[in-house]
Amino acid sequence: MSVPAKKRPRSEKRKRAIQQALKKSKYILCPKCKRPKKPHLVCSYCGSYKNREILKSKLDKKELKKLNKQKAKTAEKQK
């Protein structure tokens, strides 16, 4: 059976273990529905990615109309 060449200090072991710690998830706001989503993934609520609809949306028709009206208002304000 093999034996380690020398005993490793606790600090070295802990430095190695810290790399395996869990990181906090980062979220961004979806540009279409303004709900939090993970970056580089399709929005689970509206189904859009990079302002294109990829999946069928869970939004009601009323909510979609409301969002479109809000977009139109913001576009008019920017002009």
Element (H, E) at 37: strand 36-37
Token pair belonging to 24? 């906090």
Strand partners, 29: 36
Residue 15 lies in a domain: no
What tens digit of pLDDT does each residue of 11-30 get?
Answer: 888 888 887 888 888 999 99
Q: 30: closest CA among 19, 46, 15?
A: 46
The whole-chain average pLDDT of the chain stands at 82
Q: What is the mean pLDDT of residues 43-72?
A: 78
Report the SS3 class of residue 79: coil
How many CB atoms sit inside 10 A of residue 78's CB?
Answer: 6
Residue 65 lies in a domain: yes
Residue 11 lies in a domain: no
Residue 19 lies in a domain: no
Residue range of the domain that includes 45? 29-78
* Chain-centre distance for alpha carbon 69: 26
Total count of domains within the chain: 1
How many CB atoms sit inside 10 A of residue 37's CB?
Answer: 20
Residue 67 lies in a domain: yes
